[in-house]
Amino acid sequence: MRVAPNSITTMKQAPSKRDALPANERLRINEVFYSIQGESRPSGFPTVFVRLTGCPLRCVYCDTEYAFYNGEWYSFDTILDEVADYGARYVCVTGGEPLAQPNCRAFLKRLCDAGYQVSLETAGALDIADIDSRVTVVMDIKTPGSGEAARNRLENLSLLRSEDQLKFVICDRADYEWSCAFVDEHDLIDSCCVLFSPGQGTLEARELAEWILADRLPVRFQVQLHKYLWGEEPGH
Ligand code: SF4
């Protein structure tokens, strides 16, 4: 289930007043829904998505602005019950920017302890240290076309492991060239999986694929599978 923009969470259980929940075991949730993972390495697997409220960035192409403010407070236990109801193996914690809520780290650990294959989607502007080592980190590098390139936290690069993924959303040719130079400068190909995605509505997927092939670039091209399947339809 996914809420339409400007409404609030679809959790089956009623939200709680924030102060009625344990301070270190609560999160503000925008939505929890079940869909096909459309990006990154587990692309194609049925996945439960837990979207946290809030993001300190304002990328020009953002398609989840409804997550900036809308959401309700839930205890970890309630969220875990909701996740369990879907019976999925994969859980993706996303946003907004999930790390903007400090309790996110403890919640990731609880998901791992419960036996899920857990991934975290983060914008790369906040510190990714001290994330449970069982979590796969999918981190953005914001390109100039996003309007938020100044927010990239370069210290995070040295914390990425081979199972983690680094995603560039590329809006145009200038973004592509900037991204190639960034990958080179930071020697990223051998440190993690590098993903290049076309910016939705700003760059044809085929054009990006052709640039990658022409340059013999060893990055992974990806399109947003869920948008291919369902477009902007709510619920996915
Ligand atoms: S980091 Fe993600 S959620 Fe935040 S503004 Fe950028 S695209 Fe939107």
- 32 located within any domain: yes
- Give helix then strand counts, H and E, for the chain: 5, 9
Residue nearest to atom 2 of ligand 1 (CA): 96
pLDDT value of residue 78: 96
Q: How many separate domains does the chain show?
A: 1
Q: What's the pLDDT score for residue 5?
A: 39
What residue numbers bound the domain in which 129 lies? 8-161+224-230
Radius of gyration (Cα) for the chain, nearest Å?
17
Residue 98 placed within a domain: yes
pLDDT of residue 60: 96
- Cα(214) to centroid of ligand 1, in Å? 30
Beta strands in 69-217 (DSSP E): 72-75, 90-94, 117-122, 136-141, 165-170, 193-198
Ligand 1 nearest atom to the CA of residue 146, by list position: 6
Which ligand 1 atom is the nearest neighbour of the CA of 140? 1
User: CB atoms < 10 A from the CB of 216, how many?
Assistant: 6
Residue of 5, 45, 24, 7 whose CA lies nearest to 136 = 45
**Dihedral through CA 13, CA 2, CA 131, CA 151, nearest 10?**
-130
**What pLDDT does residue 236 have?**
59
**Residue 228 confidence (pLDDT):** 78
- Of 30, 39, 49, 57, the one to substitute when testing ligand 1's pocket (max ligand atoms within 8 A of C-beta) is 57
Whole-angstrom distance, CA of residue 64 vs CA of residue 67:
6
pLDDT tens per residue, range 70-87: 999 999 999 999 999 999
Q: What is the pLDDT of residue 225?
A: 83
Task: Using the mean position of ligand 1's atoms as its centre, give its distance from the Cα of residue 164 in Å.
Answer: 19
61 C-alpha to center of ligand 1: Å?
8
Does residue 122 lie within any of the structural domains?
yes
What is the arrangement of strands in the sheet containing 72-75, beginning at the earlier edge strand?
72-75, 26-36, 46-52, 90-94, 117-122, 136-141, 165-170, 193-198, 220-221
Nearest CA to ligand 1 atom 7: 62
Residue 156: inside a domain: yes
- Ligand 1 site-directed mutation target among 49, 64, 202, most atoms within 8 Å of CB: 64
* 55 Cβ inside 6 Å of ligand 1: yes
**144 Cα to the center of ligand 1, angstroms:** 14
Question: Does the residue 151 lie in any domain?
Answer: yes
Pocket test for ligand 1, best of 31, 52, 55 (most atoms within 8 A of CB): 55
- Whole-angstrom Cα distance, residue 234 to residue 226? 11
Q: Is position 185 within any domain?
A: no
pLDDT the model gives residue 7: 38
* pTM of the predicted model as reported, rounded to 2 decimal places: 0.93
The reply to whether 194 falls in a domain is no
Residue 203 lies in a domain: no
Q: Are strands 136-141 and 117-122 parallel, antiparallel or unpaired?
A: parallel
Task: Count CB atoms within 10 A of the CB of residue 171.
Answer: 22
- Residue 129's CATH number: 3.20.20.70
Query: What local confidence, expressed as pLDDT, does residue 9 receive?
Result: 56
Counting as low any pLDDT under 50, the low residues of the chain are 1-8
CB under 8 Å to 173, separation ≥6 — which residues?
A: 211
Whether residue 97 has its Cβ less than 6 Å from ligand 1: yes
DSSP conformation class of 103: T
